[in-house]
Amino acid sequence: MNYRHAYHAGNFADVVKHAALALILEYLKRKDSAFRVIDTHSGIGIYDLAGDEAQRTGEWHAGIGRLLDADLSPGATALLAPYLEAVAAVKGLVKPTAYPGSPAIAQHLTRDQDRMIFVEKHPRDAQTLKDTMAGDERIKVIELDGWTALKAYIPPPERRGVVLIDPPFEVPDEFDALARNVVKAYRKWPTGIYAVWYPLKNKTASDLFRQTMSDSGIPRMLCVEMRVREEQDRGLFSGSGLMLINPPFVLAEQMGQLLPELLSILKQAAGSGWSVTWLTPS
Kind of pairing between the strands at 239-245 and 139-143:
unpaired
| CB distance 261 to 230 below 8 Å | no
CATH number of 5-213: 3.40.50.150
* Annotated catalytic residue within 69, 166, 176, 215: 166
The residue among 155 and 235 whose pLDDT is bigger is: 155
| Cross-strand bridge partners of residue 142 | 119
CB environment 245-272: b (16+ within 10 A), e (fewer): bbbbeebbebbeebbebbbebbbeeeeb
- Cβ neighbours around 50 below 10 Å, total: 12
- Helix ranges (H only) for 29-69 are 52-57, 64-69
d(CA 161, CA 29) in angstroms, rounded, equals: 10
Cα 154 to Cα 135, 234, 254, 259, 264, distances in angstroms: 25, 36, 28, 31, 38
pLDDT in tens, 127-162: 999 999 999 999 999 999 999 999 999 999 999 999
Q: Could you tell me if 7 and 57 are in contact, meaning their C-beta atoms sit under 8 angstroms apart?
A: yes
Residue 205: C-alpha distances to residues 3, 102, 158, 200 (Å): 18, 25, 35, 9
Confidence tier at 3 by pLDDT (50, 70, 90) = low
Is 166 an active-site residue? yes
Q: What is the pLDDT of residue 235?
A: 84
State the pLDDT confidence band at 170, using cuts at 50, 70 and 90: confident
User: Rounded to the nearest 5°, which phi and psi values hold at 196?
Assistant: -110, 115
CA-to-CA distance for 80 and 234, rounded, in angstroms?
32
pLDDT of residue 1: 42
Q: What confidence score (pLDDT) does residue 196 get?
A: 98
Q: Is the pLDDT of residue 172 over 90?
A: no
DSSP character at residue 94: T
Q: Which of 228, 277, 270 lies closest to 252, judged by CA? A: 277
User: For the chain, which residues make up each domain, given as ranges?
Assistant: 5-213
- How far apart (Å, rounded) are the C-alpha atoms in residues 116 and 18? 16
Interatomic CA distance for residues 190 and 85, integer angstroms: 31
Residue 226's pLDDT is 98
Low-confidence winner among 15-24, 125-134, 230-239 (lowest mean pLDDT): 230-239
Q: Give the DSSP letter string of 138-188.
A: TEEEEES-HHHHHHHS-S-TTS-EEEEE-----STTHHHHHHHHHHHHHHH
Q: Is residue 228 very low, low, confident or very high in pLDDT (cuts 50, 70, 90)? A: very high
Strands 161-165 and 36-39: parallel
